């Protein structure tokens, strides 16, 4: 009974070892606040199993979940941006390029090359929103254009996976805006020669990217709940001084209004692309 009548607060040994949970094992879903074990998240293609939120994928991870394992051959990996207008601001363009390269381990916001899906050969390009918001500067535009021209030359289907929240890259001025026309013109030539272009829109796909190559696919696919539009909804509301409809600029809203052709979960993207290749080749008589 002495235990219950003992005066004072219980004492704890401050030097006793405490078990600590290692960092980096869990991720909190930004949509439903579910705490997800990272291994479970990886096994589910970086998609929340509770609310189906699709986390942003880097370009290399996107390649891995889209193509056959080990089939990707990257081209022009050493293309990097320069500073054509000597941009000055709170941070110079050269400083921004350096910091994003160090932070992400990437050389640019785009990658392209050849690969296969279910042994079907294709050309693929991917943009990455982690590098200067995936914005389209000279290198991104050049890589997209080279991907289009390669697909045209070798008579291969083309996939471009867009993840750009930055549109045209302001650091390069008119040089970045020219990429909209350059990529669109290349796609026009590709279309005239009978090429197949499937555009995959992910969260976010915005501004100059959407206004050029991303919206010119023969088939336009989007991941669920992706933000897709030219200008962000907050800017539009401030400009027109009206409340926008629920879900405005989401994949679901755009499918309902005819801007895209289908919404496909990430885990179903590869088989869907494979089926589209087979169907569209047959419809073209190949």
Residue 11 has pLDDT above 80, yes or no: no
Summarised one tens digit per residue, pLDDT across range 70-82 is 999 999 998 888 8
| Residue 269 DSSP code | H
* pLDDT above 80 (res 23): no
pTM of the model: 0.83
The pLDDT assigned to 283 comes to 52
Among the residue ranges 19-28, 42-51, 56-65, 133-142, the one predicted with the least confidence is: 19-28
Across 78-97, average pLDDT: 87
| pLDDT greater than 70 at residue 4 | no
Give the long-range contacts of residues 120-123, CB within 8 A, separation 24 or more: 120/157, 120/274, 120/277, 120/278, 121/156, 122/151, 122/156, 122/157, 122/158, 122/159, 122/277, 123/147, 123/148, 123/150, 123/151, 123/154, 123/156, 123/157, 123/158, 123/159
What percentage of the chain reaches a pLDDT higher than 70?
90
Predicted confidence band of residue 131 (pLDDT cuts 50, 70, 90): confident
pLDDT digits (tens, 9 = 90+) for 136-155: 888 999 999 999 999 999 99
285, pLDDT greater than 50: no
Inform me whether the pLDDT recorded for 106 exceeds 50. yes
For 202-214, what is the mean pLDDT? 86
> Would you state the pLDDT for residue 21?
46
Q: What is the mean pLDDT of the chain?
A: 84
Mean pLDDT of 171-192: 92
Domains plus CATH for the chain?
25-55 (no CATH), 56-283 (3.90.226.10)
199 pLDDT exceeds 50?
yes
């Amino acid at each position: 009974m002495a235990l219950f009548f003992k005066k004072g607060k219980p004492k704890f040994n401050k030097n006793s070892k405490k078990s600590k949970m290692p960092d980096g094992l869990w991720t909190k879903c930004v949509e439903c606040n579910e705490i997800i074990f990272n291994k479970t998240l990886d096994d589910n293609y970086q998609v929340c199993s509770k609310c189906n939120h699709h986390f942003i994928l880097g370009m290399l991870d996107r390649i891995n979940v889209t193509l056959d394992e080990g089939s990707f051959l990257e081209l022009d990996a050493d293309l990097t941006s320069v500073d054509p207008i000597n941009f000055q601001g709170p941070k110079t363009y050269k400083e921004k390029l350096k910091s994003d390269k160090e932070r992400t381990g990437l050389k640019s916001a785009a990658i392209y090359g050849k690969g296969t899906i279910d042994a079907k050969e294709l050309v693929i390009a991917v943009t990455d929103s982690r590098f200067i918001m995936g914005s389209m500067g000279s290198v991104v535009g050049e890589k997209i254009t080279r991907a289009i021209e390669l697909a045209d030359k070798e008579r291969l289907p083309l996939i471009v996976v867009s993840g750009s929240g930055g549109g045209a890259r302001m650091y390069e001025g008119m040089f970045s805006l020219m990429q909209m026309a350059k990529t669109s013109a290349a796609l026009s030539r590709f279309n005239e020669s009978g090429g197949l272009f499937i555009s995959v829109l992910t969260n976010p796909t915005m501004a100059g990217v959407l206004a050029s190559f991303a919206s010119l696919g023969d088939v336009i696919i989007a991941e669920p709940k992706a933000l897709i539009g030219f200008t962000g909804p907050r800017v539009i509301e401030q400009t027109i001084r009206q409340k926008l409809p629920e879900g405005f600029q989401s994949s679901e809203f755009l499918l309902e209004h005819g801007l895209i052709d289908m919404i496909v979960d990430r885990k179903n993207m590869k088989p869907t692309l494979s089926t589209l290749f087979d169907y569209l080749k047959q419809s073209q008589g190949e």
